[in-house]
Chain A
Amino acid sequence: MSITKAAIGEKVRTYVLQEYYDGESSELTDDLPLVSSGLIDSISILQMVEFLEQSFNFEFLPHEVDEENLNSIQQIVEFVSTKQAA
């Protein structure tokens, strides 16, 4: 069962606020860089991968763990939507 992009975004946003982001929640915009800014590093990104897989019921491939797919909430939402549609 697929869920809306808005719902994906909200869930991801809550997770980022809880696990990585220590600023004001209003400052966490959908296009704020998460990986390239160093907020999430390439080691702890695996926690994010686990979270996304469990929450949205799909599996990552190794090469998909990438800045292109995970650098912002917006990119994560797009990636999750694509995976769910596949």
Chain B
Amino acid sequence: MNSNVLTPKVKSPAATATKITVWPYLSVLLQLGFAAVLIHLFQIEGDLGLPAFWPLLIAAFCVHALAPKAYRPMIFFGSFVATLIFFLGEVGAAKVLLMGGVLLGLCHLPVPMALRRGLVFLAGVALVLMSTGYWPSPLDSWQMRIFASLFMFRVILYLYELPHEKKGPSIWQRLNYFFLLPNIIFPLFPIVDYQGFQKKYFNQKDIIIYQRGADLILWSLCCLLIYRWIYLFGIPSVLTVDTVGEVLHYMIATYLTVIRLVGLLGLSVGILRLFGYNLPDIFNYMFFASSFADLFRRINIYWKDFLMKICYYPTYFRIRKWTPTYALTIAMAVTFFFTWIFHLYQWFWILGSNPLRDTSIIYWGLFGVIATLNTLFEGNKRKAKPNYSFQFAAWHSFKVLSTFLMMSLLYSLWVSPGVGNWMALIITATQDNFSHWLQLAALLLLVWGGAAALYFIYLNNWERQKKALLHSNAILRSLGIGFLVVMAALAYNQPPEDSQLGIFIQNEKLNEKDNDQQFTGYYNEVLEHKDVASRLWGMGFGKKQKKDFFADLDNVDDVDNVMLYAMRPNSSSTFKGQPLTVNRWGMRDQDYEKVAPPNTIRIAMVGSSPVMGVGVADDEVFEKILEDRLNKNYGSDSLRFELLNFAQPSTGIHQHAFMLEDKIRHFRPDYILDIEHCRNFIGYIRKLKNAKDAGVTYYPALAALLEAENIDPDQLSEAEKEEKGKLIAAWGYKHFRQLCQKYEIQPIWIFLPGVSKSNILEEYLPMVKSAGFEKVISLEDIFSNYNQKLLQVSTEDKHPNPQAHRLIAQRLEMELVRHLGLEEQ
């Protein structure tokens, strides 16, 4: 915006004109304000930091738009730095900027380009060594993630374009190309074309670009809300999928979750437009693609153009002297191979882990083959003349529908925890009875007929007459804003928390049990730094679900006792993207002798998934950190500490008691820490039912209590379950305490709250105390001074992340020192 636009010139003829000019800018500001309200009400992408980011963005937009044009590139860079400091702190931001500066400096060294490229490559190797822990890294994982999103692709494009640059942009514009504001919160926006970025800067009147930005932002928010609805309510649990129709429903809904990516990338481009970078849209109605080659053109156009530039054209030009068809095929094959490689590359830089999976190899292999064949086929065809017949509409609709269904099938493979899981779905579908297949075929025919009719009407009423339908910005804007206003009104009225709408608004995506069992997929994992353990691969309760908790973990065995399953001794695997090592005793811990060495205080720990360290690496579990700290700060040649982690997910006091009697007592610990979340008591009834369904005999004394109280898990109402659950819990605590007395182990009961879950400590405390626990430690306020969402593994996975584990270890060290009287020693 021109700097004097907002300066009123009272009583001059220009005043009226100024007022008229100001309104479009205020309108954009209003739209951004409306977006702020929505983001706040729905906490849209709250875990990526969008609600905190948005006010900073609005402030940066105002300053930038009011500044003279010459200063705007500088202000954009300043906005990046300020926002980076807000999120990472001064030191973290300085590290990212400094390392970025070094990398950029290498690109401009006064040496031949080949040498510069070699040096940047070596810098990349050094960063790999840092990222994998072989070299000390100045950046923590969050800083590395942001740094990677800024440089991992753009430095490739930059080095590609640099030798061909005719008129170099200013230093600020070079810096701005790398240090893009949206990357601070959205790591999945790594590719922007360098030439386009420079050439499209204020290539139209500023207000036109700003309005394009606001339009895209509001449209993207619609996408993110639609995604949330699909995610919460549209995807059936894989365990309930029994028919071919349900399998198809699952696959389609899974594919539709890509709308989140559409929303996030759209938001990123919209934000850049607010600063004059008039970049094109990234997606072009991808669900309407009529072939795989067409899909490749419509889905993530920035990514596709990057591959064309870096892989496709160079390969094609190198070999085109051969036959054109051969050259085209090879170039396409190379491009798809690198599409896969670059997805792995992106995964590695953002997550810092090994991304190689059988599902991704098959997915990209199939996609590449089909798209290449498709391109070859299309390449041999001449351009079709306009055709408005019903036959044409029917054939085109058929192609769109087939591409969509085929893509749903493939996408469901890509996001599956393993090929076996996906094959199980296919087998479910193929084994379904013939009548279901017929019903599905009839439904698809109906959909096809409807789509053909609609397309025919569209062709003849809009396309043929060159009239816009949804391409009109005004119509799209009205539809989008209308939808968002309705959403905002619904959220403002605060529907009941347990209603579908309430769940949608709060975005409490997974219940407590489901925290352990999540659906995700490539993009969500990269976005949220977590790994596949699909919630879809196990919802509800029971032995089957317990097994499904470990859907992508193969070192788990079923057992015929109240534990229902156990970790396989001497095994290691990756669980939720993190290494999980099990020692010879079946604990997620380092190895210990059965008998403690002399002068050792041995402490056993029991608990569920947070205590086992679900979502963090072996050496990040608080038990390990605590053990190290105790030995470092209070240990000596004559005093050592051993902490034995017997925790296992989805366990409660009864399982802890069982483990104490069955296993822990043989290790003769001095203390046992029973670490609990204290959630509702219904869980105890559920666990009881699981055991009953699995045919496992619970404790005879408990069985007697159940009989005396007439407790039948299948017959109770929810309120009764809560009440009876309390009774069962109380029995468990008493039993646990009695076992401790019997085996002369001192129990310490510890309350560990969830990172972002409400707990009911007050109902537990009297029960625990009446059971005879003398030492009780409450960590109730441990997370209260922190942004709790930054302490959880990911959006849906509310387990403590490494930082939260460090906090727990520090606090527990302090508490244990006090309770164990270590200060006096």
Contact = CB atoms under 8 A, between A and B. Distances in A.
By DSSP majority rule, is chain A's interface helix, strand, loop, or mixed?
Answer: loop
Given A46-B316, A63-B164, A19 B308 contact: no
A15 B361 CA distance: 40
Contacts of B378: 44
B199 A68 contact: yes
Contacts of B375: 43
Contact of B379 (A22, A44, A62, A67): A44
Contacts of B385: 22
B196 interface: yes
B189 to A, nearest CB: 20
3 tightest Cβ-Cβ pairs between the two chains A and B: A62-B313, A42-B308, A62-B317
A69 B309 CA distance: 14
Interface string B307-335: 01100111011000000100010000000
A21 to B, nearest CB: 8
A43 B308 contact: yes
B379 A41 contact: no
A22 B383 CA distance: 8
B631 interface: no
Interface of B: 160-161, 164, 195-196, 199, 280, 284, 293, 296-297, 304-305, 308-309, 312-314, 316-317, 324, 328, 375, 378-379, 382-386, 466
Nearest to B375: A43
Given A19-B383, A43-B297, A50-B324, A68 B195 contact: yes
Nearest to A64: B164
A18, A43, A60, A68: residue with the most chain B Cβ atoms closer than 10 Å: A43
A57 interface: no
Contacts of A23: 466
A41 B296 CA distance: 11
B383 A65 contact: no
A1 interface: no
A20 B382 CA distance: 9
A63 B297 contact: no
Contacts of B284: 38
16 contacts: A18-B383, A19-B383, A22-B384, A22-B385, A36-B280, A38-B284, A42-B312, A43-B297, A43-B375, A44-B378, A46-B316, A60-B317, A62-B313, A63-B161, A67-B195, A68-B195
Contacts of B314: 62
The dominant DSSP class at the B interface is helix
Contacts of A63: 160-161, 164, 309, 313
Most buried by A among B195, B314, B383: B383
A10 interface: no
Given A41-B297, A66-B195, A68-B199, A61 B317 contact: yes
A25 interface: no
B467 to A, nearest CB: 13
A47 interface: yes
A20 B383 contact: yes
Contacts of B324: 50
Contacts of A36: 280
Interface residues of A, number: 22
B146 to A, nearest CB: 29
Contacts of A41: 297
A70 to B, nearest CB: 12
Contacts of B384: 22
Contacts of B296: 43
Contacts of A42: 297, 304-305, 308, 312
A85 B570 CA distance: 73
Interface string A36-61: 10100111101100100000000011
A56 to B, nearest CB: 17
A33 to B, nearest CB: 10
B308 A22 contact: no
Given A42-B304, A43-B293, A43-B308, A22 B164 contact: no
B382 A19 contact: yes
Contacts of A19: 382-383
Nearest to B317: A62
A66 to B, nearest CB: 7
Among A23, A50, A66, A68, residue most surrounded by chain B Cβ atoms (within 10 Å): A66
Contacts of A67: 195-196
A65 B317 CA distance: 10
Nearest to A36: B280
Contacts of B160: 63
B198 to A, nearest CB: 11
Nearest to A66: B195
A44 B381 CA distance: 11
A57 to B, nearest CB: 16
Nearest to A19: B383
Given A43-B296, A46-B316, 17 more contacts: A18-B383, A20-B383, A38-B284, A41-B297, A42-B305, A42-B308, A42-B312, A47-B379, A60-B317, A62-B313, A62-B316, A62-B317, A63-B160, A63-B164, A65-B313, A67-B196, A68-B199
A41 B314 CA distance: 17
A77 B801 CA distance: 58
Contacts of A50: 324
Contacts of A60: 317
B468 to A, nearest CB: 14
Contacts of B196: 67
Contacts of B304: 42
Nearest to B387: A22
- Count chain A CB atoms within 10 A of each CB in B160, B164, B328 and give the residue with the most: B164
A17 B297 CA distance: 21
Contacts of B164: 63
A66 B339 CA distance: 20
Contacts of A47: 379
Interface string A18-35: 111011000000000000
A43 to B, nearest CB: 6
A47 B317 CA distance: 13
Contact of B386 (A18, A22, A61): A22
B709 to A, nearest CB: 70
A41 B280 CA distance: 14
A46 B328 CA distance: 9
A18 B405 CA distance: 33
A31 to B, nearest CB: 14
A22 B464 CA distance: 11
A44 to B, nearest CB: 7
A23 to B, nearest CB: 8
Nearest to A38: B284
A65 to B, nearest CB: 5
A25 B13 CA distance: 46
A50 B324 CA distance: 10
Nearest to A43: B375
Nearest to A47: B379
A13 to B, nearest CB: 15
A47 to B, nearest CB: 7
Nearest to B327: A46
Nearest to A37: B280
